């Protein structure tokens, strides 16, 4: 078992930095009435200010799992692993990623934008950040009361720009 301290709480968007408000505004502009924005409407140019800290997470409903399709380069570097193509449960330390899994389940059940304030300490590293979870639909045929994927954005609370400090080594989870 890893040695760590972890806290996570749902936060209000009103209490977050302007960058998060901008991202939420983009999501609302993409959103059709009464549904989720479509994945096909994602334009990297629109999200250029957020790209290194964005992740695309597919939702597998049976059995429930969250699969990273894109793990932002800054997130990968800060966590020292690239989870692209992997279940969230493959992340280390396992106990923290199990907590992330539970947070994603809450976001799935809520089916609306959420922001979490997350802090944790593991040997040699400390993290304090907001994680925005935005629900999307894969296409018009899949629009339902539950999203098909999430776009997540992480914003460090310890820097003026929201950026995370980088670590030199990056491993790919197999």
Average pLDDT (137-142) is 74
Instruction: Write out the DSSP string of 91-113.
Output: SSSHHHHHHHHHHHHHHHHHTS-
Cβ-based neighbour number of residue 95 at 10 Å: 14
pLDDT computed for residue 77 by the predictor: 86
Residue with tokens 């709480």: 9
Report d(CA 143, CA 124) in Å as an integer. Answer: 43
- Arithmetic mean of pLDDT over the chain: 88
pLDDT per residue as tens digits for the range 152-168: 999 999 988 899 876 44
36, pLDDT greater than 70: yes
Spans of all domains in the chain: 5-172
pTM above 0.75, yes or no: yes
pLDDT computed for residue 5 by the predictor: 84
Average pLDDT (140-162) is 87
The CATH architecture annotation of domain 5-172 reads 2-Layer Sandwich (3.30)
pLDDT computed for residue 33 by the predictor: 63
Average pLDDT (103-126) is 92
Report d(CA 81, CA 92) in Å as an integer. Answer: 8
3-state class (DSSP) for residue 121: strand
Structure tokens given for 166: 């980088």
pLDDT computed for residue 168 by the predictor: 41
């Amino acid at each position: 078992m890893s040695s760590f301290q972890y806290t996570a709480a749902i936060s209000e968007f009103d209490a977050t930095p302007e960058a998060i408000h901008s991202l939420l505004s983009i999501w609302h502009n993409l959103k059709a009435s009464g549904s989720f924005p479509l994945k096909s409407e994602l334009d990297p140019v629109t999200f250029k200010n957020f790209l290194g800290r964005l992740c695309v997470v597919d939702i597998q409903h049976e059995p429930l799992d969250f699969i990273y399709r894109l793990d932002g380069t800054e997130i990968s570097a800060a966590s020292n692993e690239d989870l692209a193509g992997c279940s969230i449960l493959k992340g280390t330390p396992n106990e923290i990623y199990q907590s992330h899994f539970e947070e994603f389940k809450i976001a799935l059940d809520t089916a609306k934008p959420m922001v979490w304030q997350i802090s944790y300490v593991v040997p040699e590293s400390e993290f304090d950040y907001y994680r925005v979870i935005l629900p999307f639909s894969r296409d018009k045929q899949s629009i339902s009361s539950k999203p098909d994927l999430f776009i997540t954005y992480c914003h460090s609370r310890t820097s003026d720009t929201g950026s995370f400090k980088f670590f030199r080594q990056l491993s790919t989870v197999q």
